[in-house]
Amino acid sequence: MVLITNFLKSTFYNISKGMHLVLFYMKFFTEEGSIVLNYKSTVVLTKLKMYL
């Protein structure tokens, strides 16, 4: 029984930690991250055009 509760605790902790990371990245991407994302996508697109 202790193993199950410990497993559930660790799983819940990992999930909450993961959610925290997701929320952080969402916040990051909506703010300055979107600029970086747009820049990176344009760079990737130009590199793809060079190869094509």
DSSP string, 23-49: HHHHHHIIIIIHHHHHHHHHHHHHHHH
Q: Please indicate whether residue 51 or residue 44 has the higher confidence score (pLDDT).
A: 44
Q: Is 39 a residue whose pLDDT tops 80?
A: no
Which tokens belong to 9?
């605790």
Residue 37 near residue 29 (C-beta atoms within 8 A): yes
Which tokens belong to 16?
């909450």
Question: For residue 25, how far is the Cα from the chain centroid?
Answer: 5
Asked whether the whole model's pTM tops 0.85, one would answer no
Determine the pLDDT at residue 24: 78
Distance CA 10, CA 34 (A): 33
The band of 37, judged by pLDDT with boundaries at 50, 70 and 90, is low
